[in-house]
Amino acid sequence: MFGYEALLDQQQIRGKVTDENGSDFPGVNVVIKGTTNGTVTSTDGTYILDVASGATTLVFSFVGYATQEVAINGQTSINISLAPDVRALDEIVVTALGVQKESKKLGYSATLVKTDELVSQRTTNVMESLVGKVAGLNITPPAAGAGGSIQVRLRGQAAFAGANNAPLFVINGLPINQDARGANGAGQVAQRDRGDNLQNLNPDDIESMTVLKGATAAALYGSRAANGAIIITTKSGSKNQGIGVDYTSSYTASQALNFMGEIIQTEYGAGRFGVRPATQGIAQDNSHFAWGERLDGVPSVNFDGVLRPYSANPNRLFDFLRTGTNFTNTIGLSGGGANGSFRASFSNSDAKGIVPNNEYKKKILNVGINHDITPKLKLMMNINYAVEANINPPAIGTQGDGPVNFFTRVAISTPLEAFRESAINPATGAEYKTSGFLGTVNNPYYPIQKGQFFNDDRKRLLGTATLRYDLTDWLYVQGRYNYDYGTNFMEWNELNGKGATTLFEGTTGFYRGRYDIEQSESTEINADFLIGGNKEFGKFSVDAAFGGNTWRTEWHRNAQFSRLFVVPDLYSIKNGTNWGTNDANFQPYLYSRSRTNSLYGWAELGYNGIFYLNVTGRQDWFSVLNPKENFEFYPSVSGSFIFSELLPDQEWLSYGKLRTSWAEVGSANGVNPYDGQLTYAINPQFNGQTTSGVSGTLAPNPFLRPFSVIEKEIGLELRLFNNKVLFDISAFDKVTTNQILDVNISNTSGYNSSKENIASLKNSGLETLIEVTPLKKGNFTWTTSWNNAFLATKVLDVGNASGTFLVFRFNDTGNEFLGELRYTEGMAMNQLYVRSYRRNANGEIVVNDAGRLLPTTGATPGAEKTNGFLPIGSSIPKHTGGWNNTFTYKNLSLGVFIDYKFGGMVMSATHLNMTRQGHSKLSLEGRREGETGLVFPAVYESSGQPNTTVVTDLQSFYTDYRGHQIGDPFIFKSDFVKLRNISVSYNLTSLVQSVPAMKFVKGLTLTAACRNVAILYKDLPGLDPEAIQSSGDYRAGYENASLPTTRNLNFSLNVRF
Amino acid sequence: MKQIKPYILALAVTLLAAACDKDFVEVNTNPYAVTSSDPALLFAGAQRTHLGNWGSEHTIVQQFVSPFNDGATIGVNFNADIDLNNNPKWDQSYPGSVRNLVQALTILGNTTDRVNLKSMIRIWKVQTFMGLVDTYGDVPYFDAGKAVTNGVFFPAYDDDALIYDDLYNELKEAIAALNPGGDYVGSDLFYGANSNASTKTTTATEQVAKWKKLGNSLLLRLGMRYSKLNPAKAQTIVAEAFAGGVMTSNADNAYVKYDGSTYVHAENNGLRNFSQFNYAAEPFVDQLKATNDPRARYMIATYFNAGQIANDLNPNTTLGDQYGVPIGVTSGQITSDLINYRGSNPNGGLAYSQINIYAVGSPAAPDFYVTYAQTSLLLAEAAKRGWIPGGDATAQTHYENAIEADILVYSLYPTTTSISATAIDNYIAEPEVAYNPTDALELINTQYWIVNFRNGTEAFANFKRTGLPALSPNLFNNNLGGGFVRRLTYPDREGSANNANFEAASAAIGGDNLTSRVFWDN
């Protein structure tokens, strides 16, 4: 009877839901308002719903999209389009441990990344596309070749160099370190940047990314939370969508940006003392100097004995480099039924770097599965398997090998073809000696022509399986197992005859060079459980959970090398006659394991949707600590106050939230397995006799502790004028104490350094975000957002009496001659130091009686404790930010992104080397047309009278900059403003679908983007200030032989079936 | 069932908490690390200690020159205080030999059944520290190498005279403790089971005899160091050493030989690379030429291309064609002032002699720490001074024995042929070599200078002690006030890493500079 009546009053409504691109939108909830009756759209976005006659309104909703209500008004067909709602009030944020929370409950700053920009502003390393996008997230992409790593720092550098200062990355609940490899540079030995773990992610697979900026947000990660966390979830399809295929093809071409013309001189050629080389031998000895004669085009002898015009070749480096390319294809298959969904994708990436021979290839297989085994038991699985090959990553950032070092340091009068044609000396088979700096200034054509290689093959499996069981409607239990397995094979050679004049090793009769292989394997297991529940009691709500985790790591490495080869140019272990036995520091087998066990819990109390208070606690037990005190406790407390709930009638205020938090987290990074133990090395036999020695340069310290970070944060979030304006501001104060520092100890103690918990520092800052939609008219929308972070850093304690800690003296690398990196109490982090011009009591620069420069010394005020070195500022920019604009007109979307960094300093060894070798414009002072020498503007130290001495030996004069390490002319601001990205996307879906035969195409988008379009402002001439930095912290602010940044043109096609 | 589940979970949680650090000690033990060592192997590893650099000690005594002053290579040859030149001895001694010798002594403790090993370690520690004091003056001694055993990370510097007093005591005690009936130390690189045929022993009796001679020869060296400061003390110690029995033939030499492949003579290996920077010095070359020295062809040579000497398999070793680079002259002057200098080698580098990289400069060259030739020359001087009996006659015998012994050890270098007895006799008869009572000290110490062409530490110390041979100071600039380098300065790193002790030591020695003097060099 009732059924009959109901049937009588029912009508059927049909319709179709599309997304913002006009594509079919499966899985959208369609519900009759005020009831629980509803349905879900099918794979083609259509729905059919029986509606009782009393119903007035349909509600269309989908996570991440603005919910729409449509009045029925007797319609039987309702088609609508849903738009993404990134500013949704009930924005769901994936927080620590993968727990999803409404953003209003958060007492800390968490930023959702716009994943569509990861795709439209595509970069080889996915994190690079976030440059300038999130306030407080400072990303620096070093120009490290196609497979390079990037520097990621959240809210400053939490700890001194040597610690892992990148945020924790949590991929589907699996915590991993960024692990930038070989990125700190190590002086003259060419260090190669071998990428990082972020390379294992395909931007097309990423469903969501949340940046948990502060300690509170990450507090549940305890001893891994010191740098905040970035939570990444990969796609696993959605329910009831049917089967779909998506395919993305992307092609990028990269070209080096050339600023060299700003600094390179084109007036003088090879030689010394104003004379060009008269013989081949002299050309070989002196061609690294451009202290010769004025360029006149007269054929002159080169290092290979060939006469070539004595004229300028300023673009050799850029002629040597090539256009880089990256061709990436991803195919994804996804589907979903009533009980679950899946997505599987495969991507292949093939990149060629701008340095010839540098290639980077990767393949990524990603699978995500959600399955409801029963209505209460859910299984979630994610697998990401990445295979990478990084081939010949370029040697960068240090003096030594590499094309940049070479072409900025050999005189401009030798043309590129000379180096190409005469890389190999036909008489010896070894590198043709091109200059007196053979060994540190090596012809880059020699390794190419003789087959130098460096292969880094890596395979990595990240697997996560989660089982969640709902015990009751408010209590659940969850278990998760994470497996992270990586294997790495590397092989490389040192060429015989490279940087040398002979192929033979000493008098042995065997060939020089070396061949190395290294195989390593790492396993990390994280297994955790969580029991949690949430319940409402009237106006109060409670959300609490308790859980535990065990984290087990094991790593081992096997390595071998061989040298003293029998057959030339054959690099294999068996061709050598000596296998790694001449090097006491060489350890063929290394092993380490560690375990960290944890218990944690949280409780969140809410009142009426207005107040939320959240308390968390975690205790970690560490295998690496002294057994007597092997644990640490990490608490946090945070609260949010949604004051707009109390002001419901304010038209202008859509939403207002005040948040504040406090947390103590830490990092055991720096306390390594076995650090406290004395070990010995057995040396190779010396004439048949085994010998041994105490191992290592680091004095064992069994009492090391994790360091600690205490962070306070307060923030305000406002949505105004019906969500048209979003304003978010956070202020934080983060103090790191008990930092682990490799304290330099007197090596007369037997060791060079000892790890101690002694240092502290402070990062504080202000982050702002403003998002506005200034224009929305018809089909045209302009949204603009500006984020800015101000960061102030201060070193509080360096743990020694002098108050200053030497991180890196670049001169100590043996062949570099500029400056130091120090941490000095009371000053900003990463303080750069150089010697300066010596000055008298009146502040005037002084010279000696010969008119030559004098450096500051230990007697100089302010430089007493630093041997004459004076601070010039911090390498860390104070202001970072970006201005993002999106213009959409119908199916066309244009993105324009500008970002900037201000307030940091850089010192340039390239400038110094070029000046002292006569290659820079600065070195022309005193020998320009009509000049016969230099009178340096200064006064005599002896008399105080103005300097009148004409220095004619300019080579010696400019060499004094290096000899004395006077840095003044080589210091610049690292400031820049870049037009980082312009992208144009055109959604052709509706166009294609208008063709009946093409109906099966559910989406088609074409994107063209240009990255690093232009540098709108910079202070550092000749170079891109951003390209200087390695992704580590040791060489911060120090430029040497930087590879140029590239301008990348990208075209991509995305199609869905 | 539904009701039980939470309890099971609660139980699991409790168990987990209780087991939170189970097995941690085992987990944190590296199953693959070497956690103990036989002190005899540590001793062997510490026997190859630093002997000086071509670019610093040998340059100070004007045997070697790097005439380029373009920044990187500027050094003591232009009277400049460059960290790179000062550090090697320090950096290779302390974290190398000193640490291992101290650790070996710690492991041995008060053990009595390895008394010979312990004595050898003590003697060798004396050798190592004597070199450090002679080079730098006050250095950390009593607290050195004790980071692990005593937690001393910032050792204080000890007064050089006090260190010498202790070195004397150590030598005396260690020599006295050597026991022919005690342990045989097979790992001893000088005289042990795998040492070179010419010095090898097979029994404790033989080995102890060698070490007694080595100990007493070091004692002789130590005594002679007092010759300027306190001749009476010098005489006493020298007499003690002589009475105790010093080295009597090349079979007593404390030396090791590199194989040139697994172990390469690092200092020599550097001569091949950047060879355009490395030359023989004029005073040394002139000495060899003036006396027709038969060793010269194994010491110096000219190459087809001075910048690529490794490619010249047959360098010119004809003595008449050898020219050393004048002291205090830059490569710039050499190449531009062709009236006074020989200019460039047209094939590369400068037109001057370099080290013979196939013999003395070979990667497979031996290293001589304490030799009979050195010892015999010290005895010659002691006899001449009347500190041991015999006067000039004995002095001459020791002098000639030393020359002969030194010439004979050249057969240990690669690519050499034995120098004949006739050639030796002819050399000893050379007017500028033949012993004469008037010039005895000059002759003896000139030979000491030549003998130590491969031991910069000893060449430098003896030159400071005697002022002989009479070299002219490098007047390139007035950095040294017209004198010679008297010591190497402390590593810059000590100034920051061990600041308070460094400052105190600098003040105590009259400033950390190249002209302050070691206590016996007053």
Give per-residue pLDDT as tens, A423-476. 999 999 999 999 988 888 999 999 999 999 999 999 999 999 999 999 998 999
Compute the C-alpha angle B106/A705/A792, nearest 5°.
Answer: 130
pLDDT of residue A3: 40
Provide the chain A residues 557-576 that lie in CB contact (below 8 A) with chain B. Answer: 564
Distance from CA of B258 to the nearest CA of A (A): 8
Q: At how many degrees (to 10) do helices B160-177 and B204-224 cross? A: 160
User: Shortest CB distance from A507 goes to which of B6, B358, B501?
Assistant: B358
A36 CB near a chain B CB, below 8 Å?
no
For residue B457, give Cα distances in angstroms to A148, B129, B288, B444, B464: 47, 11, 21, 18, 11
The residues, any chain, with a CB within 8 Å of residue A583's CB and separated by 6 or more, are none
The answer, yes or no, to whether residue A8 has pLDDT greater than 70, is: no
SS3 B201: coil
Distance from CA of A938 to the nearest CA of B (A): 22
Q: Which amino acid type is present at position A566? A: V
A691:B30 CB<8 A: no
The residues, any chain, with a CB within 8 Å of residue B79's CB and separated by 6 or more, are B474, B476, B477, B479, B480, B485, B514
**A799 or A399, which is more confident?**
A799
User: Shortest CB distance from A699 goes to which of B147, B305, B332?
Assistant: B147
A623:B155 CB<8 A: no
B34:A674 CB<8 A: no
Distance from CA of A749 to the nearest CA of B (A): 4
User: Shortest CB distance from B147 goes to which of A438, A677, A749?
Assistant: A749
Dihedral (Cα; A436, A440, A445, A449), 10-degree rounding: 110
Encoded tokens for A23:
């594509």
CA nearest A805 in B: which residue? B496
What is d(CA A562, CA A511) in angstroms, rounded to the nearest whole number?
Answer: 11
A752:B95 CB<8 A: yes
Q: What is the DSSP annotation of B376-417?
A: HHHHHHHHHHTSSTTHHHHHHHHHHHHHHHHHHHGGGSTT--
The parts of chain B modelled with pLDDT lower than 50 are 1-2
The answer, yes or no, to whether residue A957 has pLDDT greater than 80, is: yes
Provide the chain A residues 457-496 that lie in CB contact (below 8 A) with chain B. Answer: 471, 475, 477
Encoded tokens for A219:
């507090």
Residues in chain B within 8 Å Cβ distance of A272: 332, 335
- pLDDT mean across residues, chain A: 90
User: Shortest CB distance from A506 goes to which of B12, B363, B492?
Assistant: B363
Contact A719, A665 (CB under 8 A): no
A687:B152 CB<8 A: no
Query: Each residue of B147-178: pLDDT tens digit?
Result: 988 889 999 999 999 999 999 999 999 999 99
Residues in chain B within 8 Å Cβ distance of A499: 273
Q: What's the per-residue H, E or C state across A338-351?
A: CCEEEEEEEEEEEE
B264:A582 CB<8 A: yes
pLDDT of residue A815: 65
What is d(CA A834, CA A828) in angstroms, rounded to the nearest whole number?
Answer: 16
Question: How many residues does the structure list for chain B?
Answer: 522
B310:A500 CB<8 A: yes
A594 CB near a chain B CB, below 8 Å?
yes
Contact A661, A712 (CB under 8 A): yes
User: Which DSSP helix (H) or strand (E) runs through B256?
Assistant: strand B254-257
Distance from CA of A100 to the nearest CA of B (A): 23
pLDDT of residue A189: 39
pLDDT of residue A87: 44
The answer, yes or no, to whether residue A1028 has pLDDT greater than 90, is: no
CA nearest A688 in B: which residue? B194
CA nearest A479 in B: which residue? B9
Provide the chain A residues 783-822 that lie in CB contact (below 8 A) with chain B. Answer: 800-802, 806, 811, 814-815, 817
Q: What's the per-residue H, E or C state across A626-655?
A: CHHHCEEEEEEEEEEECHHHHCCCCCCEEE
Contact A138, A789 (CB under 8 A): yes
Distance from CA of B29 to the nearest CA of A (A): 6
User: Shortest CB distance from B21 goes to which of A531, A630, A953?
Assistant: A630
A942 CB near a chain B CB, below 8 Å?
no
Which candidate in A473, A550, A749 is best for mutational testing of the B interface (most B CBs within 10 A)? A749
Distance from CA of A474 to the nearest CA of B (A): 13
What is d(CA A158, CA A943) in angstroms, rounded to the nearest whole number?
Answer: 50
pLDDT of residue A193: 84
Query: Each residue of B441-464: pLDDT tens digit?
Result: 999 999 999 999 999 999 999 999
Query: Each residue of A779-835: pLDDT tens digit?
Result: 899 999 999 999 999 999 998 888 998 888 887 655 677 889 999 999 999 999 999
Burial, A89: exposed, middle or buried (Cβ in 10 Å; 0-12, 13-18, 19+)? middle
Residues in chain B within 8 Å Cβ distance of A744: 493, 496-497
Which candidate in B7, B16, B24 is best for mutational testing of the A interface (most A CBs within 10 A)? B24
Distance from CA of B33 to the nearest CA of A (A): 7
CA nearest A956 in B: which residue? B70
ipTM, 2 decimals?
A: 0.91
User: Shortest CB distance from B311 goes to which of A501, A531, A622?
Assistant: A501
For residue A776, give Cα distances in angstroms to A21, A724, A888, B62: 17, 10, 9, 84
Contact A979, B90 (CB under 8 A): no
Given pLDDT bands bounded at 50, 70 and 90, which one contains residue A643? very high
Distance from CA of B267 to the nearest CA of A (A): 13
User: Shortest CB distance from B269 goes to which of A438, A506, A801?
Assistant: A506
Residues in chain A within 8 Å Cβ distance of B34: 679-682, 692, 695
Q: Which amino acid type is present at position A381? A: M
Dihedral (Cα; B441, B443, B446, B447), 10-degree rounding: -110
The answer, yes or no, to whether residue A1 has pLDDT greater than 50, is: no
Query: Each residue of A112-161: pLDDT tens digit?
Result: 888 888 888 888 888 888 888 899 999 988 777 888 888 899 999 999 88
Distance from CA of B353 to the nearest CA of A (A): 17
pLDDT of residue B151: 86
Residues in chain B within 8 Å Cβ distance of A815: 72
Across the range A59-82, mean pLDDT stands at 84
CA nearest B269 in A: which residue? A506
Work out the percent of chain A whose per-residue pLDDT is above 90.
62
B192:A689 CB<8 A: yes
CA nearest A289 in B: which residue? B70
Query: Each residue of A306-345: pLDDT tens digit?
Result: 999 999 999 999 999 999 999 999 999 999 888 899 999 9
A691:B41 CB<8 A: yes
A746 CB near a chain B CB, below 8 Å?
yes
Encoded tokens for B119:
């004595």
Query: Each residue of A342-365: pLDDT tens digit?
Result: 999 999 999 999 999 999 999 999
The answer, yes or no, to whether residue A5 has pLDDT greater than 50, is: no
Compute the C-alpha angle B271/B277/B283, nearest 5°.
Answer: 90
pLDDT of residue A6: 43
User: Shortest CB distance from B345 goes to which of A281, A623, A624?
Assistant: A281
